[in-house]
Structure 1
Amino acid sequence: MSLQQDLENRSGNKCELCTGTNNLSVYDVKPSDIGGGGVDGSLLACETCVTQIENPDEVDANHWRCLNDAMWSEFRPVKVVAWRMLHRLKKEGWPNDLLGMMYMEDEELSFAKATNDHLDESEKIIHRDVNGVILEAGDSVVLIKDLKVKGSSMVAKQGTAVRRISLDHDNEKYIEGKVGPTQIVIITDYVKKMAEKE
């Protein structure tokens, strides 16, 4: 069975956010490295919902009153998108009441916060490499100097590639990634973002 068919079966052929039935498609909830893709990282959504999720300027707050039901979904990707959209609409007032009632496991909440969609532009923490290039979750970076790894005798050598980094959501200077088998915290001043083809 295809992913689309799995999601159609799960949702009863309806948008998992607003229950609409027009122009349904698979919506992959970002970032894929946390969501994991597939059924556990995707939802079935109508064209109206997808357009408004991807274009914040086109959001019609009244359309999203449907989240009153969607937020109780048993499926992680649906809850994550509901939480993100309620945060995006906080200025409307009513979403705050729904957010106050919503319950999410720690893992679901960290997935929901991973894109920083819930923050106002002024609150967003932006991670930048040594050259000022913006870093995003899932990027690959190269160390520009030898780094001692705290708590071990290991030294991460200059030139080492660290793939699929994750970002610290509280501090723009910290990222995490694996050097060999070890997950380490790295200061952004000591990394350079790798081009896609490297």
Structure 2
Amino acid sequence: MSIQQSLLSRSNQTCELCTSSDSLSVYDVPPAEAHADKCIMVCATCAAQLNGEADIDMNHWRCLNDSMWSTVPAVQVVAWRMLKKLSSEGWAQDLLDMMYLDEEMLKWAEAGLVEHSDEPTLDCNGTILQAGDTVTLVKDLNVKGANFTAKRGTAVRGIGLNSNPEHIEGKINGQRIVIISAFTKKS
């Protein structure tokens, strides 16, 4: 039986992430060799976003609420990676907090993540920022999609860093948002 036939049988001919049955294909979960245990069946929408061929549609990935509980390790790994990528969204961070991967699967999941840049994240004064630092906003920022303005002087505690050295993540008004580091000052 071919890998594709095995995956179609395992997935009941649906995407193992979002359950769509349109344009299914095999997705090799890197870094791994092509083997049915290291691949998943995905639809064209999921494949395009996983491969970076299309912009990430946050709402599409709400399907991970169900697929993260799959008994298939490869599905769990892909769900963990996408939730990690979307962790600036409150719902994704909540799901990630609930998810458990054993040590071996966590190593596999982390092996496929984009490494952090060697370039440091700097505030407006050129001070190097570290994960967990507290920063203060140096200008008013309109928060897209949240209908509020983060005011100058607002303290953001326990910031997080990501793969882009120009961005930090932090919580303002109870929402986790991405902030341009040049608009902050280390406190």
Report the TM range for the smaller structure's normalisation. Answer: 0.5 to 0.7
Partner of 2:26, secondary structure, is: strand
Q: Which residue of 2 aligns with 1:110?
A: 107
User: Which runs of no fewer than 5 residues in structure 2 stay unpaired?
Assistant: 120-187
Q: What is the alpha-carbon distance in structure 1 between the residues aligned to residue 7 and residue 70 of structure 2?
A: 14
CA distance in structure 1 between the aligned counterparts of 2:54 and 2:26, rounded to whole angstroms? 22
Taking the aligned partners of 1:101 and 1:56, their CA distance within structure 2 comes to 29
Query: Contact (CA 8 Å) 2:29, 2:74: kept in 1 or not?
Result: yes
- Whether 2:21 is the aligned partner of 1:24: answer no
The structure with the largest helix share of the pair is 1
* 1:36-85 deviation line (CA, Å, top 9, x unaligned): 43111000000000101111761000000000011001111100100000
* Residue matched to 1:100: 97
Relative to the length of structure 2, the TM-score reads 0.60
CA contact 1:116–1:124 (8 Å) conserved in 2? no
Question: Which structure 2 residues correspond to residues 4-153 of structure 1 after superposition, within 5 A?
Answer: 4-32=4-32, 36-55=33-52, 58-117=55-114, 123-124=116-117
2:167 corresponds to: none
Please, what TM-score do these two structures have when normalized by structure 1? 0.57
| C-alpha distance in structure 2 between counterparts of 1:57 and 1:24, whole Å | 16
Q: Look up the SS of the partner of 1:58 in the other structure.
A: coil
In 2 relative to 1, CA 26–125 (structure 1 residues): closer, same or farther, beyond 3 Å? farther
Q: For residues 25 and 38 of structure 1, what CA distance do their matches in structure 2 show?
A: 14
Cα offset for 1:115?
A: 2.0
Contact 2:68 2:99 in 1 (8 A): yes
List gaps (5 residues or longer) in structure 1.
127-198
**Closer, same or farther: CA 10–125 of 1 in aligned 2, 3 Å:** farther
Match of 2:136 in 1: none
